[in-house]
Amino acid sequence: MHPAPSIIVFTVLSGLGLGMVFWAGLGLGPDHGAARWWIAVLALGFAAGGGAASAGHLARPDRAWRAFSQWRSSWLSREACLMVAALGTFGMYAAGWTLGGVRFWPVGWIAAGLALATVYATAMIYAQLRTVPRWSLTPTPQTFLAFAGAGGLMGVEAASALGGADVSAGRVLLALALTAGVAVWWQTEAAGAGRRSTGSDIGTATGLGRLGRVRLFEPPHTGSNYLLDEMAYRVGRRRAYQLRLIGAVAGFLVPLALTLLAPLLGGWLMVPALVSHVAGVMALRWLFFAEAEHVQAFYYGMR
């Protein structure tokens, strides 16, 4: 599948921001001081900025408001509605927390729940597609939730450090380790989830498989088209190994090392740790799209 930069930025940043909403809503972060502002502003900024990036993927962004209408059937619509609800609720909670110094616990919990549901809905946009086994046969929702959780926790700690508050390295280490585990789990499942793993192949796609071995004799057109560009993306797959390495090192090893050093050298290390983590997750998200195979490509003779 075509790895559109707008969707990669969107899923990574909104996951990060919603993860921060989740932890802050549950009560993480100090009760006083500038750190509260950093946490609230960064959480809302990442989530809303990511949301704005997603509009870059639309051919008609002026009609994006219509996406709030079909929550009964569509995960994309549910995601849009939940996102607005989560950020609205968190906005109220954050106003009390930052301006008044009071936490309205029930509001925070609702915001946390909505943030979690939003990330789940984002993941389901991909996980619902039977046409892309690498997304539908793998623990995609678990992975998106784990990444949002770890990223959000790092975001809260980094924002706390920026606001001069204390940083707790222990839980970040735990979250990073757990998320690395989930990432490996997803990767193991994905390794076997090619476009044939739902039982489809060129034989079932054409219905001709029962008559003999089928191969493409002539494609329907000589040039490319929307279908091939979008659904049969193959550019840069040979860089997959290097990108996965970047994902592992920048996304996990560097942040782990920086987090370990933070108690010794200072909480500010959480900031480069977060930047590194986000860069690594972007590389992995790029692969999430670029390596996913769509069953449509059978009609173009791809195996």
Note the residues at the interface with another protein (CB under 8 A): 1, 57-64, 66-67, 69-70, 72-77, 80, 125, 128-132, 198-200, 202, 204-208, 210-221, 223-227, 230-231, 294-296, 299-300
Our CB check for another protein shows the closer of 63 and 238 to be: 63
Measured distance CA(301)–CA(238) in Å, rounded: 20
Q: Smallest distance, Å, CB 205 to another protein?
A: 5
Our CB check for another protein shows the closer of 125 and 274 to be: 125
Q: Smallest distance, Å, CB 235 to another protein?
A: 15
* DSSP string computed for 15-50: HHHHHHHHHHHHT-S-SSSTHHHHHHHHHHHHHHHH
Q: Smallest distance, Å, CB 148 to another protein?
A: 21
Burial class (CB in 10 A: 0-12, 13-18, 19+), 37: middle
Sequence-separated (6 or more) residues with CB below 8 Å from residue 17: 42, 43, 44, 45, 46, 47, 48, 49, 50, 152, 155
- Dihedral of the CA atoms 181, 118, 6, 21 (nearest 10)? -80
Question: How is residue 197 written in tokens?
Answer: 């793993």
Measured distance CA(156)–CA(35) in Å, rounded: 9
Our CB check for another protein shows the closer of 100 and 224 to be: 224
Measured distance CA(138)–CA(294) in Å, rounded: 15
Q: Smallest distance, Å, CB 13 to another protein?
A: 18
Cβ atoms of 83 and 47 closer than 8 Å: yes
Our CB check for another protein shows the closer of 97 and 298 to be: 298
Measured distance CA(249)–CA(256) in Å, rounded: 9
Q: Smallest distance, Å, CB 98 to another protein?
A: 33
Measured distance CA(7)–CA(230) in Å, rounded: 13
Our CB check for another protein shows the closer of 79 and 157 to be: 79
Q: Smallest distance, Å, CB 7 to another protein?
A: 10
Q: Smallest distance, Å, CB 204 to another protein?
A: 5
Burial class (CB in 10 A: 0-12, 13-18, 19+), 192: exposed
Q: Smallest distance, Å, CB 295 to another protein?
A: 5
Our CB check for another protein shows the closer of 128 and 187 to be: 128
Our CB check for another protein shows the closer of 187 and 198 to be: 198
Cβ atoms of 298 and 197 closer than 8 Å: no
User: Terminal CA-to-CA distance of the chain, rounded, Å?
Assistant: 15
Our CB check for another protein shows the closer of 98 and 128 to be: 128
